[in-house]
Structure 1
Amino acid sequence: MTSPLWAVLPGGIDDPAAPSGGNRYDRTVLSLLPAVHEIAVPGSWPAPGPAARRALHNALGDIPDKSTVLVDGLVGCGVPEILAPHAGRLRLVVLVHLPLSDETGLSPADADDLRARERQTLHLATTVVATSTAAAERVAGLHDLARVEVAPPGVDPAPLATRDPGGRRLLCVAAVTPRKGQDLLVGALEQDLAGLDWECTFAGALVRPVPHADPRLRFAGPLHGEALDEAYGKADLLVLPSRAETYGMVVTEALARGIPVLATQVGGVPEALGTAPGGARPGLLIPPDDRAALAAALRSWLTGDALRDRLRAAATARRETLPSWEDTARTLSAICEGDPR
């Protein structure tokens, strides 16, 4: 950025007890941009109480005219009435990590209300940004937008994970919610693959715990820093059975360590998975919400020596082509400057 950037963020962006891909994206990218004025607004976004609404209103009012303001969609997309008075004097750039109405567990009425509010916010914005091409197309189609820019997440370099010959150590990194599909993975392992040799660690906040009985299933809660690095370092296969994803940052985090990925073919996940030089895919993609397909893919991995060797080789090659966070910061900076590449 050649001019100051203001960033409006959720108050819990740095809370280690509640890690999220959106928070990690915001924190990492903003740390690489110069002259950023951060405004972290506490509240239960996207449906804040009166105190949070006043705090956001006052914070926006203090920003000088004609400033560029990057607004995290979790904060801004549910409160268009607060952004509207400032849309004419500020250059609002709204970063959508996940369309609000795509969150699982919403009633039809709540989903319709959030969708309408998000639409109003995005039509107030000078620029809308998503984190994958698939997400950009989704947001544009959902809200009748002519253009949505894309700034894909980067990934930090990491050492290769150790490998168990049988590929038995499975890892799922995601908050435990219906959208992430851990219920499907637990069912596949406990009921369909109980006779095979495996263990599975779930790293993520227990928002909606999944009942389970097999001791080989370990719900570790949110992991970060060295603890998360250790979990990746001991994993043979990342499993991401999500029902919806805009990108799937954990996919590239696994690939950075040469770990193949088994994931659902939703949103930006195929973009994150990508291909190795030569075209080999470093993992397996299955339909969402399909426990039988998940169990079949896991069985193939656990029992197929040739498949494991092929996917491991592709994952090792793919790690050399992954985007960096510096790439993301340059892209987002250009977008905020009004010069997307």
Structure 2
Amino acid sequence: MPDLVFAYPGDLNTPTGGYGYDRQILAGLRPLGWQVTLLPLGDGFPFPSQETINKASDKLATLPDGTLVVADGLAFGALGEVAARIADHLTLVALVHHPLCQENGLDTAQKHVLLEGERVALQHARHVIVTSPATSVQVQKLFGVDGSRVTTVLPGTEKPLPYPRPEGDVVKLLSVGTVVPRKGYDLLFSALAPLKDRKEARWHLDIVGGLTSDPACHADLKRQATDLGLADRITFHGAVPGDDLEAFYRAANVFVLASRYEGYGMAYTEALSHGLPVIGSGGGAVRDTLPDGASIYCGTEDVAALGEALERLIFDASERGRLEQAARIAARDLPDWSDMAGLFARTLSEIGS
């Protein structure tokens, strides 16, 4: 039975796309015969305290020689000096969801620290697993990692049974993602503002995603919603359990996420798998993740394009229906988690052989 240690920051049960990917892959490896040992590295990443770095270093240094360690990139990218010390006696595999320096809201100095730290860390990884072709390109371009050391393992999707889309007097918009600047909720609010007084249809936006990662961002968004006259049209629900999230997908009429950047964009494919018309934006992998004909891509930080897409789907029921049907068809081609766990396992086996 092959063994691996999975090293990760924070709480593995955190309801975000990155942690969700980790949980699904680990759950898929176990039925394939892998013995997985979890190794928490502490909180505060990607800017951990020196105490956290020291403790993480000690945990990794005490592992037996030759141990296969898969490290989530949120932590690994901040442990460049640690990786340099332990690379000779551990088989290090980095799991990169997106380059840490691509997060929005960072100042120039922070971006530089993350860029250089992740560059050093990845130089000492035996292999790098990424979650999209776009991230593969970024890892090679930004950090100089040779393409032969990079494997793309896409996120999978679960395929719920078809169900009728709810009908009512209010068009329900759904956005799923942690409330941080990168998710572009400020752009979405600006795009929705001109539509608040339209009489053809009423609408409401439900936002599902953690509120504690950047409390200042949450406070700014609440002020923006009030200033734009949207406070009664937008509800922040915070992070919710999986069953509750499923209920939000089932109750929605349109999915919209105005991200500035995504390493993949799991929420987009989850929405497609639920047969939802999708409006998306952003750099990174977003353009590749959104299928033509089943979604509307609005570029990056283009409020006008977002507004046009929202107007089109809020006020035209037939257009919503057309994209809903196309989304269900596109979802058939999305990979499932068991296939992706199998690819992940084969990649690890080849590294260890």
TM superposition score normalised by structure 2: 0.89
Shift of 1:295: 0.4
Q: Deviations over 1:180-225 (max 9, x none)?
A: 0001111221234432521110111123210213212111111222
Aligned to 2:187: 184
Q: Please say if residues 168 and 302 of structure 1, whose CA atoms lie closer than 8 Å, have aligned partners that are also in contact.
A: yes
Distance 1:143 1:310 in 2: 42
Long gaps (5+) in structure 2: none
Aligned to 1:138: 138
Equivalences for 1:73-84 in 2 at 5 Å? 73-84=73-84
Aligned to 1:311: 323
Q: Percent identity?
A: 32
1:35 aligns with 2:35: yes
Equivalent position to 2:338, from 326, 332, 340? 326
Shift of 1:39: 0.3
Equivalent position to 2:209, from 204, 213, 218? 204
Equivalent position to 1:251, from 268, 280, 283? 268
Aligned to 1:155: 157
> Bigger shift: 161-170 or 240-249?
161-170
Shift of 1:328: 1.4
Aligned to 2:313: 301
Distance 2:282 2:162 in 1: 25
Amino acid at match of 1:113: V
| Count of residue pairs the alignment pairs up | 331
Aligned to 1:219: 236
Shift of 1:164: 2.8
Distance 2:282 2:190 in 1: 19
Q: Please say if residues 195 and 311 of structure 2, whose CA atoms lie closer than 8 Å, have aligned partners that are also in contact.
A: no
Distance 1:81 1:124 in 2: 10
Shift of 1:270: 3.1
Aligned-pair Cα RMSD in Å: 1.8
Equivalences for 1:99-114 in 2 at 5 Å? 99-114=99-114
Shift of 1:265: 4.7
> Bigger shift: 118-127 or 312-321?
312-321
Shift of 1:86: 1.0
Q: Please say if residues 166 and 305 of structure 1, whose CA atoms lie closer than 8 Å, have aligned partners that are also in contact.
A: no
SS in structure 2 opposite 1:321?
coil
CA gap of 1:317–1:339, structure 2 versus 1, over 3 A, is farther
Aligned to 2:11: 12
TM superposition score normalised by structure 1: 0.92
Amino acid at match of 1:302: I
Distance 2:53 2:114 in 1: 16
Shift of 1:319: 2.2
Q: Deviations over 1:273-327 (max 9, x none)?
A: 335xxxxx21110111111110011111122344222211101112222211111
Amino acid at match of 2:77: C
Moved over 6 A (4+): none
Long gaps (5+) in structure 1: 276-280
Distance 1:166 1:283 in 2: 23
Q: Deviations over 1:49-108 (max 9, x none)?
A: 233222211211222112211011111111211111111121111011121111111111
